[in-house]
């Protein structure tokens, strides 16, 4: 039987706002982040980021009138009138390289690669446009209550790849499966804005208490803990799941024959660690907007080989967000006018395992953080416009733009190390490990850190390089002393970065660190309607995080890639997420 939760309906007194489907099925060169010849400019990246941040700020007031939603849509339509989609005579096959996705199960995915492929195969109630703004997708309309705490989604007619109808039950089942503590989802936190979702995930509330209600097959009601201006941004990651498939086969997400999806593409092949192929889903509700017939992902771990494949015409795209360009190639590609860059809401950082000596000591964690030369890493390894970060929140959503400490301070680092070792009763640092996943940039950063910690602190750090799936498993089990990490926000707000460390046992924390006051500040920020006061709470929380240093930022990241001039319509929003739905080749 499908899962039925909290039957009910919205009162007539609720203020209703209808957000209509406004996906635009057109393309023109001036509407891309890259200019003629495929070269991006930093100004364009910043322009799109500014538009996203501005629109997000407007959303803080909620969806107040229907006309405000129509204005944005009508503006897009007026631009669309000046464009046309050329006849597509080129074979519609897009070829990229990527790492092995850790999983294609939406409830378990945490890495960028898995998320991008899942986004191609699944469709939610809303989908983000190229400016990072939510547009109705599987929802034909969305109604919001006056207090902005209750959302009513009406579903359009859509089917799964096996022909079954997509219903409100599929959404309720999927979201509650993600929240179920037995699932162990690292994405459960995304749903905590929903009433009693956090409590249910913590085993402190019943499933019936969660604010997810199926009204009928085509109607889903969601009740939030508090008004959340960015709720629809988060909801873009809330996919439905096919209950019967999942309950009948625990390995359903590993094979093309058993992976049932509902998005623009479906899985055709997955030769693990070698190749993954997606093909157009002819049962997709918006299939006319999908021009690509096939997306082929090779899986070559070496960045130099990937770039060579691109230059030989074997790939249409090389680099981020699906993989990385070789560090040594960044500057030459820039000089040749081939490099495309775009800012994104991503923090590249390292975690300290605070349950292991010597990182049980706050001063020693700070010593390792202060010894790092972030400017050198950004300029000589990043090379694409990364910003050194002496905080945790990226520059797209800053709380303290000046940071919290001096970058590259070896004198203070040595002093703190000596004090911390004395407090622990140590005369010598134990051998340490630094865990990272296989990418050229990660390796070079690891080697620079290793050398710096050796020269400044006398630390002997062994580098542990592992493929992404094993790397994530080791992180989850905290099999490291220090580990590299990166976090791309689900939406461009500081709280999405800081909330990772609320719970000591949380699957997004993975440091062993907990501070009660820190957690209280984040929870206050969740409820605070006054934006200035909310920012004060978040600033105080980030200050605590940097004072106790369970993590330390390295840089605020950008996407950098090269692409064939024939590739059009790939959408990378200002947060940094890639969407292949509207891509085509000409």
Q: Taking a C-beta distance cutoff of 8 angstroms, is the pair 49, 130 a contact?
A: no
Q: Taking a C-beta distance cutoff of 8 angstroms, is the pair 286, 582 a contact?
A: no
Same domain, 261 and 377: no
Same domain, 530 and 571: no
Same domain, 407 and 477: yes
Same domain, 515 and 453: yes
At residue 20, the pLDDT reads 36
Domain tally for the chain?
2
**Mean of per-residue pLDDT scores for the chain:** 87
Decide if 162 is inside a domain: yes
Distance (Å, rounded) from C-alpha 284 to C-alpha 262?
A: 6
CATH number of the domain residue 63 falls in: 3.90.76.10
Backbone angles phi, psi at 571, to 5 degrees: -105, 120
CATH number of the domain residue 408 falls in: 3.10.105.10
Same domain, 490 and 568: no
Same domain, 162 and 260: yes
What percent of the chain has pLDDT above 90?
78
At residue 229, the pLDDT reads 87
Decide if 20 is inside a domain: no
Same domain, 581 and 536: no
Helix (H, G, I), strand (E, B) or coil at 372: coil
Q: Taking a C-beta distance cutoff of 8 angstroms, is the pair 189, 199 a contact?
A: no
Minimum mean pLDDT range among 73-82, 267-276, 568-577: 73-82
At residue 469, the pLDDT reads 87
Q: Taking a C-beta distance cutoff of 8 angstroms, is the pair 206, 176 a contact?
A: no
416 Cβ contact partners less than 8 Å away, ≥ 6 residues apart: 363, 364, 366, 367, 370
User: 110 pLDDT band (50/70/90 cuts)?
Assistant: confident
Decide if 455 is inside a domain: yes
Same domain, 364 and 497: yes
Minimum mean pLDDT range among 19-23, 98-102, 185-189: 19-23
Same domain, 42 and 188: yes
At residue 332, the pLDDT reads 97
Same domain, 368 and 237: no
Residue 259 belongs to what domain range? 29-267+564-585
Please, what's the b/e burial string for 423-438 (b: 16 or more CB within 10 A of its CB; e: otherwise)? eeeeeebeebbbbbbb
Same domain, 219 and 162: yes
* pLDDT exceeds 90 at position 86: no
Whole-model pTM: value is 0.80
End-to-end distance of the chain based on CA atoms, in angstroms?
47
């Amino acid at each position: 039987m499908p899962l039925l939760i909290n039957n009910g309906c919205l009162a007539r007194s609720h203020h209703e706002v209808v957000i209509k489907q406004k996906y635009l099925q057109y393309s023109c060169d001036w509407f891309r982040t890259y200019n003629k010849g495929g070269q991006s400019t930093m100004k364009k990246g910043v322009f799109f980021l500014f538009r996203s941040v501005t629109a997000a700020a407007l959303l803080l007031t909620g969806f107040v009138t229907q006309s405000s939603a129509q204005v944005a849509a009508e503006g897009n339509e007026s631009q669309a009138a000046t464009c046309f989609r050329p006849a597509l005579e080129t074979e519609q096959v897009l070829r990229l390289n990527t790492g092995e996705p850790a999983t294609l199960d939406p409830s378990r995915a945490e890495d960028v690669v898995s998320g991008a492929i899942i986004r191609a195969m699944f469709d939610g109630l809303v989908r983000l446009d190229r400016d990072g703004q939510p547009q109705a997708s599987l929802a034909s309309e969305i109604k919001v209550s006056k207090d902005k705490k209750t959302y009513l989604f009406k579903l359009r007619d859509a089917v799964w790849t096996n022909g079954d109808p997509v219903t409100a039950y599929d959404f309720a089942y999927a979201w509650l499966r993600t929240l179920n503590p037995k699932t162990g989802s690292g994405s459960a936190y995304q749903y905590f804005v929903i009433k009693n979702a956090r409590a249910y995930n913590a085993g402190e509330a019943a499933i019936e208490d969660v604010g997810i209600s199926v009204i009928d097959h085509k109607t889903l009601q969601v009740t939030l803990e508090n008004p959340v201006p960015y709720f629809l941004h988060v909801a873009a990651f809330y996919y439905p799941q096919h209950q019967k498939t999942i309950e009948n086969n625990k390995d359903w997400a590993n094979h093309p024959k058993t992976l049932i999806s509902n998005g623009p593409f479906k899985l055709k092949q997955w030769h693990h660690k070698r190749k993954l192929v997606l093909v157009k889903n002819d049962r997709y509700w918006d299939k006319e907007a999908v021009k690509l017939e096939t997306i082929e992902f090779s899986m070559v771990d070496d960045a130099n080989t990937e770039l060579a494949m691109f230059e030989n015409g074997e790939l249409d795209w090389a680099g981020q967000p699906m993989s990385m360009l070789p560090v040594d190639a960044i500057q030459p590609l820039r000089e040749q006018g081939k490099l495309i860059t775009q800012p994104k809401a991503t923090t590249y950082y390292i975690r300290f395992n605070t349950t292991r000596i010597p990182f049980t000591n706050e001063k020693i964690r700070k010593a390792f953080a202060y010894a790092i030369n972030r400017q050198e890493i950004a300029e000589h390894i990043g090379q694409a416009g990364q910003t050194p970060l002496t905080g945790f929140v990226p520059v797209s959503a800053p709380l303290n733009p000046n940071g919290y400490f001096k970058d590259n301070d070896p004198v203070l680092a040595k002093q703190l190390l000596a004090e911390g070792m004395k407090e622990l009763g140590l005369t010598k640092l134990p051998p340490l490990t630094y865990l990272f996943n296989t990418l050229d940039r990660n390796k070079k950063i690891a080697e620079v850190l290793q050398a710096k910690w050796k020269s400044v602190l006398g630390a002997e750090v062994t580098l542990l390089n592992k493929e992404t799936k094993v790397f994530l498993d080791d992180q989850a089990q905290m099999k490291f002393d220090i580990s590299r990490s990166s976090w791309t926000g689900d939406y461009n707000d500081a709280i999405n970065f800081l909330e990772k460390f609320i719970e000591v046992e949380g699957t997004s924390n993975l440091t062993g660190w907990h501070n009660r006051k820190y957690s209280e500040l984040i929870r206050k920020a969740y409820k605070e309607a006054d934006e200035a006061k909310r920012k004060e709470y978040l600033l105080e929380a980030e200050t605590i995080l940097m004072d106790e240093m369970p993590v330390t930022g390295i840089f605020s990241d950008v996407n950098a890639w090269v692409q064939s001039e024939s590739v059009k319509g790939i959408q990378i929003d200002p947060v940094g997420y890639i969407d292949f739905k509207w891509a085509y080749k000409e």
